[in-house]
């Protein structure tokens, strides 16, 4: 077998002096003949190759290609036997390179058709090296950071044989109670679209067949981010106006960026389950947008069609899903068990099966799996958590942090500090530095904030640690026990009181206190919605007691969503939102706190004062009393705690002098908005210039503001620079329910340019047909 593996990796070149068994020789001759028919040169060659292969396939073998089996799900038969019987086209959640290699060799060497497997994994924000969560990536307001991070993740994943990423998640989320808000780019379709395209390109590269490229699977199509009450898996009722103008644009951007696969969503969309929604999967995705790849279901969403009350039984569910356009079934076995009978009964046509299988085989062809089915030898050892990966992860964590408050220059910390109290259970938790969906990450690779600060200051500064309070979700997350936060060690009330007192004593004995607070990683992600957005547990009381000591206090937040911290926003001198920063998070936060890195991120989602404001977002339509919108609650303010696009810096960079290149914008054209940036400080830093528009009248009521351009710019101390952002007519198109069609905006437009969604630099222009 070793000889055969070396031969297949070398293309089965013969002429060796070794004696090759006849059976081995026969396969060795077949495999290169298949590969010879699969040159990566043209679509025509791909179509010929796939058509020739499908002509040899039985119906059962075709249905096998439509089945994806989970590593840890109870198998009907063993994984090896599934491969030998050609009853599986893909596996998910396998990350052992030896096991991946072994199963791939069975598929390529021991089956009749020698069709390679494709291995999938939830590569959400890194593979082994964990990068900041996707919501944090959006906070960079720099698509190149997201592209870089996903490219690095693709390098690691492909090195172990994983070529199918279940990402990016591009669901727009306006409700911070929804746990999966951490996996997307926030509330805005323009920012979300830019991030979606960047992530797809990062995963897939310029050419999908490159050895370090993996297929993106854009999820969850569509409307999952609008589940009722922010409750995971609940139904979504979305108007046509919001669906076309808000929720679908990032999916379209991902498709235009070349995404090879889409994943159907869990929930009902306007009463029809997304995994059997032919309007979504065929009419919109394929016919209107021209998508050519394949659609995979989400976890058991095919049998869940019965749960939804949409399908009568499992056989009906299989028929409805495949007829609607779901090509591959994830983890469940309704396709394997019932599709053959559905074809024979006429519920599903043979042509429908052929179409699904062709899409799957073409994706494998584009990946180059027919020519190079195995990961290069030694790739995993070279790539996983390499110095290059660590450097990229640290850079990403630095560029995604958002400085929310910095009164009287509390940050960066002074170099002459002699003692630091680091307080909070999250400060030394590796799991909670990595964040949810870090399934292939290793705790031992991860630098916590406590470790990062100690490494930063060395022996010259005493760093004292106290847990202070415990955090506990109260019930298991979807990932327990395979990826759980540390369990509480303080059990009795006496132990809890002693730990609280120790934390306050530690703060009093130190020059400055860094309190690391927020949410356990298990409080975010799938099946992790919250009915409160307050700091969990007894953290608020500890924070207030810390401030009451009179010592300088810095609050570092680790969380995957906005939190309601109105007291902190008024009383804590410095607040840094580090999100879940990943493997190098501790080192990045240490550099940010001491000023060796300058925070420049901006919020991709509005932060509320109270959970009762949710869903809260910056771009509603105007009401009857637009100037009083923030007073619509008689018992509190409706103004956000921090607006969309907000973020501070150690630099003071002003934005002013807005000028437009023309007073008119013609259909299909563009004009330029130019502002002057000036760094008034002695510190180099970044500013994110943001451009918003408002159409004063249209065929639909228009949002008060809409983001339509941005650029992150670095300025040296004292530097002045002009920054120009284009305003494209194409970006002003909108869908109107008045005639159920698309329109390029006309009439008068307001333009604001500044450093957040409440920018005041203003101008107007007229768009003419």
| Spatial distance between the Cα atoms of 169 and 154, rounded to a whole number of angstroms | 16
Cβ-based neighbours of 481, under 8 Å, separated by 6 or more? none
Contact indicator for 196, 185 with CB cutoff of 8 Å: yes
Contact indicator for 416, 457 with CB cutoff of 8 Å: no
| Spatial distance between the Cα atoms of 33 and 30, rounded to a whole number of angstroms | 5
Q: CA separation (Å) from 228 to 224, 561, 618?
A: 10, 17, 19
Count, in order, helices (H) and strands (E) of the chain: 24, 26
Return the beta strands (E) in 287-387 as ranges: 294-296, 329-330
Peptide bond into 511 cis (omega under 30): no
Q: Which helix (H) or strand (E) holds 321?
A: helix 314-324
Tracing tokens 């079934």 back to the chain, one arrives at 329
Cβ-based neighbours of 280, under 8 Å, separated by 6 or more? 221, 222, 264, 269, 274
Report which of 338, 332, 200 is spatially closest to residue 257, judged by C-alpha positions. Answer: 200
| Spatial distance between the Cα atoms of 96 and 294, rounded to a whole number of angstroms | 26
Give the CA count within 13 Å in the CB-facing half-sphere of 162. 27
| Spatial distance between the Cα atoms of 574 and 517, rounded to a whole number of angstroms | 13
Cβ-based neighbours of 681, under 8 Å, separated by 6 or more? 650, 651, 652, 653, 717
Please say if 298 is a catalytic residue.
yes
Measure the CA angle with vertex 164, ends 161 and 166; round to 5°.
Answer: 135
> Quick one: DSSP state of residue 575?
E
What is the CB neighbour count within 10 angstroms for residue 492? 8
What is residue 157's three-state secondary structure?
helix
Both tokens of 17, joined, read 């002096």
The region that residue 277 occupies, defined by phi over 0 for left and psi between -120 and 50 for alpha, beta otherwise, is beta
Tracing tokens 């925070």 back to the chain, one arrives at 599
Q: Which helix (H) or strand (E) holds 656?
A: strand 653-660
| Spatial distance between the Cα atoms of 489 and 471, rounded to a whole number of angstroms | 10
Cβ-based neighbours of 459, under 8 Å, separated by 6 or more? none
Contact indicator for 140, 399 with CB cutoff of 8 Å: yes
Contact indicator for 137, 146 with CB cutoff of 8 Å: yes
Both tokens of 190, joined, read 């323009």
Contact indicator for 690, 645 with CB cutoff of 8 Å: yes
| Spatial distance between the Cα atoms of 263 and 219, rounded to a whole number of angstroms | 5
Q: Which entry of 298, 334, 577, 591 is annotated as an active-site residue?
A: 298
Report which of 146, 135, 279, 263 is spatially closest to residue 577, judged by C-alpha positions. Answer: 135
| Residue environment code for 383-407, b if the CB has 16+ CB neighbours within 10 A, otherwise e | bbbbeebbebbbbbbbbbbbbbbbe
What is residue 723's three-state secondary structure?
strand
Both tokens of 166, joined, read 């279940």
Tracing tokens 């000023």 back to the chain, one arrives at 595
Both tokens of 762, joined, read 């203003």
| Spatial distance between the Cα atoms of 401 and 698, rounded to a whole number of angstroms | 38
Active-site positions read 298
């Amino acid at each position: 077998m070793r000889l055969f593996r070396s031969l297949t990796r070398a293309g089965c070149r013969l002429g060796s002096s070794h004696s090759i068994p006849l059976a081995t020789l026969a396969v060795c001759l077949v495999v290169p003949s298949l590969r010879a028919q699969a040159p990566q040169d043209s679509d025509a060659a791909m179509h010929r190759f796939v058509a020739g292969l499908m002509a040899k396939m039985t119906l059962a073998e075709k249905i096998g290609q439509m089945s994806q089996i989970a590593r840890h799900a109870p198998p009907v038969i063993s994984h090896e036997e599934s491969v030998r019987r050609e009853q599986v086209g893909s596996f998910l959640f396998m990350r052992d390179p030896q096991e991946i290699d072994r199963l791939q060799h069975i598929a390529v060497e021991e089956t009749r058709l020698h069709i390679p497997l494709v291995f999938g994994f939830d590569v959400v924000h890194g593979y082994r090296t964990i990068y900041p969560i996707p919501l944090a990536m959006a906070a960079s307001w720099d698509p190149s950071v997201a592209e870089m991070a996903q490219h690095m993740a693709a390098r690691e994943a492909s090195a172990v044989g994983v070529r199918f990423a279940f990402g990016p998640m591009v669901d727009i989320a306006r409700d911070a109670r929804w746990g999966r808000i951490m996996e997307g780019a926030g509330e805005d379709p323009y920012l979300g679209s830019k991030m979606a395209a960047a992530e797809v390109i990062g995963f897939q590269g310029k050419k999908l067949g490159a050895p370090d490229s993996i297929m993106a699977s854009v999820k969850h199509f569509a409307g999952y981010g609008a589940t009722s009450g922010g409750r995971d898996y609940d139904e979504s009722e979305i108007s046509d106006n919001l669906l076309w103008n808000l929720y679908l644009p990032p999916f379209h951007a991902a498709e235009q960026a070349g995404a090879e696969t889409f994943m159907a969503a869990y929930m009902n969309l306007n009463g029809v389950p997304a995994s059997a929604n032919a309007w979504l999967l065929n009419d919109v995705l394929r016919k209107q947008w021209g998508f050519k790849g394949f659609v995979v279901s989400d976890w058991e969403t095919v049998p869940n069609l019965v749960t939804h009350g949409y399908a009568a039984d499992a056989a009906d569910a299989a028929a409805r899903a495949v007829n609607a356009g779901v090509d591959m079934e994830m983890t469940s076995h309704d396709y394997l068990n019932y599709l053959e009978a559905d074809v024979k009964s006429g519920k599903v046509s043979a042509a429908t099966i052929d179409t699904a299988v062709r899409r799957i085989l073409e994706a494998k062809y584009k990946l180059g799996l027919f020519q190079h089915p195995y990961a290069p030898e030694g790739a995993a050892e070279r790539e996983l958590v390499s110095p290059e990966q660590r450097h990229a992860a640290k850079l990403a964590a630095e560029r995604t942090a958002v400085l929310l408050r910095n009164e009287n220059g509390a940050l960066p910390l002074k170099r002459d500090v002699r003692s630091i109290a680091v307080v909070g259970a999250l400060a030394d938790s590796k799991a909670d530095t990595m964040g949810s969906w870090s399934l292939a990450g290793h705790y031992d690779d991860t630098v916590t904030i406590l470790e990062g600060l100690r490494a930063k200051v060395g022996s010259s500064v005493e760093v004292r640690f106290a847990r202070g309070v415990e955090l506990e979700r109260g019930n298991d997350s979807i990932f327990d026990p395979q990826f759980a936060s540390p369990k509480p060690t303080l059990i009795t009330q006496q132990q809890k009181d002693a730990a609280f007192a120790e934390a306050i004593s530690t703060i009093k004995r130190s020059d400055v206190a860094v309190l690391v607070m927020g949410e356990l990683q298990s409080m975010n992600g799938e099946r992790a919605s919250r009915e409160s957005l307050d700091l969990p547990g007894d953290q608020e009381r500890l924070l207030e007691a810390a401030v009451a000591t009179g010592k300088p206090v810095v609050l570092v937040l680790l969380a995957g969503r906005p939190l309601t911290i109105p007291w902190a926003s008024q009383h804590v001198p410095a607040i840094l939102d580090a999100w879940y920063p990943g493997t190098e998070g501790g080192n990045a936060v240490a550099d940010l706190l001491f000023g060796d890195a300058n925070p420049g991120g901006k919020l991709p989602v509005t932060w509320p004062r109270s959970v009762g404001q949710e869903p809260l977002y910056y771009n509603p339509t105007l009401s009857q009393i637009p100037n009083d919108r923030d007073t619509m609650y008689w018992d509190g303010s409706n103004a956000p705690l921090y607006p969309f696009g907000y973020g501070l810096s150690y630099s003071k960079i002003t934005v002013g002098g807005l000028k437009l290149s023309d007073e008119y914008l013609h259909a299909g054209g563009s004009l330029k908005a130019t502002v002057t940036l000036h760094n008034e400080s002695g510190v180099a830093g970044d500013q994110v210039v943001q451009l918003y528009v408002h159409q004063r009248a249209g065929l639909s009521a228009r949002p008060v503001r809409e983001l339509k351009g941005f650029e992150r710019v670095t300025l040296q101390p004292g530097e002045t620079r002009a920054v120009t952002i284009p305003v494209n007519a194409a970006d002003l198109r909108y869908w109107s329910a008045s005639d159920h069609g698309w329109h390029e905006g006309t009439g008068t437009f307001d333009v604001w340019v500044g450093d957040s969604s409440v920018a005041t630099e203003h101008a107007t222009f007229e768009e003419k047909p």
